[in-house]
Structure 1
Amino acid sequence: MKPIEVQELHKSFKSKGKAIKALDGVSFFVESGQSVGFIGQNGAGKSTSIKILFGALRADGGQALLMGRTADDPLSRKGVGYVPENPYLYDQLTPREVVSSGLRLHGIKGQENHRRTGHWLECLGIAYAADKRIRNLSKGMTQRTALAHAFAIEPKLLVLDEPMSGLDPVGRRQVADLMQEYRQGGGTLFFSTHILHDVERLADRFVMIHKGRIRAQQSIADMLASQNTLVVRYYGARALPGFTEDAGMIWKGICERAQLPTALAAITAAGGTLLNAYPQNSLEELFDDIVSEAV
């Protein structure tokens, strides 16, 4: 059984009397223990796909299976952690009440409920606001509360739709670290994001959707390993042959993988400090190419 199976999904919405196709034969899957990044522009169909998967929208055609069950089966969501793009939490509740009640819905009560609630409020940096009303919290704090709720149930599958939305840089780093820990612990992770660097760091595979159609699916490792050309950046007083200025005293050049040891030796000999070396064709560039071709 695959935790997520999406087969030939179709979905249209009406706008001013016209049918607008949001999903056009979308198919993808997520294997157990795998981390998959779902990427695409605003309006590409990411959130629509996820809402259908969780039964919040009904597809016009095709099938969405969650934990081997159809989306209209409430049991499909048992043991699944989910944070939508714009989580709505009852504003009269507190973060402590939100997380605790979520755990009770998953059958976790008593001392274990209390322990997990305190632990995850602390992990998400909102323990100090645990007993404030949701209505008095910022968007970022509300997002942290929703994330604490999803992590606390210790899900078999964790689905996050734009999990970094509304978070400051510290919060983004905390959540990325928690996602990495969950992934490394054997959890199955499916997340959508606009931050392509996070996909390269946190995902085993990516699924790219554009204008309601899947445009690419590939292993992150295979994509990066297949690139033979590297971008090399270093800090130094002068440019080496083949390098151009990227910023103040930061130089950038292109080299083949086989030439990298020679380039690093030259940087060291010139008193420079290597900043980074990465494939020239990153996920961001692949994304830009696909979007440009589809215009």
Structure 2
Amino acid sequence: MSLALEFRSVSKTFRSKGRTVQALRDVSFTVSEGEVFGFVGPNGAGKSTTIKVMLDVIDDYDGEVRLYGVSAREAAARRGVAYVPEAPALYEQFTPLEILRMALDMYGIRRDDREAWCMQWLERFSVAEYAKRAVRQLSKGNVQRVALAHAMVVSPRLLVLDEPLSGLDPVGRKDVVDILANYKRDGGAIFLTSHVLHDVERIADRFGFIHRGELITTRAPHELVAERADRYLVRYQAAAALGEAASSIRSGEFEQELAQADLPAFIARLQDGGGRIVTVKPAMSLETVFFQVLEGALKPVAEVPGQG
């Protein structure tokens, strides 16, 4: 299976307020054909800079980036690549149908069934009924659907998606996840960022955790969960929380995460104080793992002294 995207020891610095801050620090990862790669991290971690580098919006960086074997610094690398930003900037005076037609024209795609092809994608994203309505008249969720249809209509080999499910209701999120799953099965590659870790967990084959410009780890979901399989989420009733890590669910009911080895002592302490267990379940969500990995990575920001 060939590689759709390669980052090799990529670093990027910016000058800010008289000093140089490293936005990316020796970042390396790959995305294969037919793979969904989730890229997650807190605000300011380097996700947007990574996308700008791969799309050649930023070209003054160290290291190497290749798309299907072609350097990202060459225009040819972006043939067959489609990008949907977090806040799509579609021409509001045009209709969804016109926007999809323009996408075909920009990519130099000639189809005898052009009209039907555009309508097919609007139908798949459930916005066909708005095909001839100005974009300015659409809701945020429907604008997001049009932006996704705009990306898919050109039959891309690589989809770059920044918060692709933003603004969608639960039905819309499921529809988009299903479409992306079909795209992946057909050999398409997806690089996506999202703050909604549950959505990433449903879609991605592997995850990259980035923090302060550094790629902390790149793993498959089952690997991350297996490494922390001895963690449990305990919900209990008591007069007061048993520890600072507990979160209050409602009056007299709390929840906190514990290692398996700590459970017996915790339960004994709870019962001695007149409390009781409500539920005990594995704490194996991607969100839990993410914050554990992030907590372990917290450290002072390394800066490169600026000149003058």
Q: TM-score range by the shorter chain?
A: 0.7 to 0.9
Contact kept, 8 Å, 2:228 with 2:289, in 1: the verdict is no
Q: Which residue of 1 aligns with 2:242?
A: none
Q: 213-222 or 130-139, which moves further after superposition?
A: 130-139
Q: TM-score scaled to structure 1, two decimals? A: 0.79
Q: Which residue of 1 aligns with 2:150?
A: 149
- Please state how far the C-alpha of 1:181 moved relative to its aligned partner: 2.0
Contact kept, 8 Å, 2:15 with 2:21, in 1: the verdict is yes
* Counterpart code for 2:161: L
CA distance in 2, matches of 1:230, 1:99: 48
In the alignment, structure 1 residue 195 sits paired with structure 2 residue 213: no
Q: How does 1:179-258 map to 2 (within 5 A)?
A: 179-229=180-230
Secondary structure of the 2:3 match is coil
Q: How does 1:1-295 map to 2 (within 5 A)?
A: 1-229=2-230, 279-293=282-296, 294-295=298-299
* Count of aligned pairs: 265
- Please state how far the C-alpha of 1:134 moved relative to its aligned partner: 2.4
Q: 100-109 or 152-161, which moves further after superposition?
A: 100-109
Secondary structure of the 2:87 match is coil
* Structure 2 residues without counterparts, runs of 5 or longer: 235-247, 261-278, 300-308
Structure showing greater relative contact order (alpha-carbon pairs closer than 8 Å, 6 or more residues apart): 2
CA distance in 2, matches of 1:128, 1:278: 44
Q: 162-171 or 43-52, which moves further after superposition?
A: 162-171
Q: 46-55 or 173-182, which moves further after superposition?
A: 173-182
CA distance in 1, matches of 2:19, 2:75: 33
Contact kept, 8 Å, 1:67 with 1:77, in 2: the verdict is no
Contact kept, 8 Å, 1:230 with 1:277, in 2: the verdict is no
- Please state how far the C-alpha of 1:225 moved relative to its aligned partner: 4.4
Secondary structure of the 2:156 match is coil
CA distance in 1, matches of 2:16, 2:43: 17
CA distance in 2, matches of 1:125, 1:110: 22
CA distance in 1, matches of 2:172, 2:72: 31
CA distance in 2, matches of 1:109, 1:202: 31
CA distance in 2, matches of 1:75, 1:277: 54
CA distance in 1, matches of 2:18, 2:259: 54
Contact kept, 8 Å, 2:165 with 2:173, in 1: the verdict is yes
- Please state how far the C-alpha of 1:182 moved relative to its aligned partner: 1.6
When the two chains are superposed, the root-mean-square deviation of aligned CA atoms in Å is 3.0
Residues 9 and 278 from structure 1, CA distance in 2 versus in 1: closer, same or farther, beyond 3 angstroms? farther
Residues 59 and 285 from structure 1, CA distance in 2 versus in 1: closer, same or farther, beyond 3 angstroms? farther
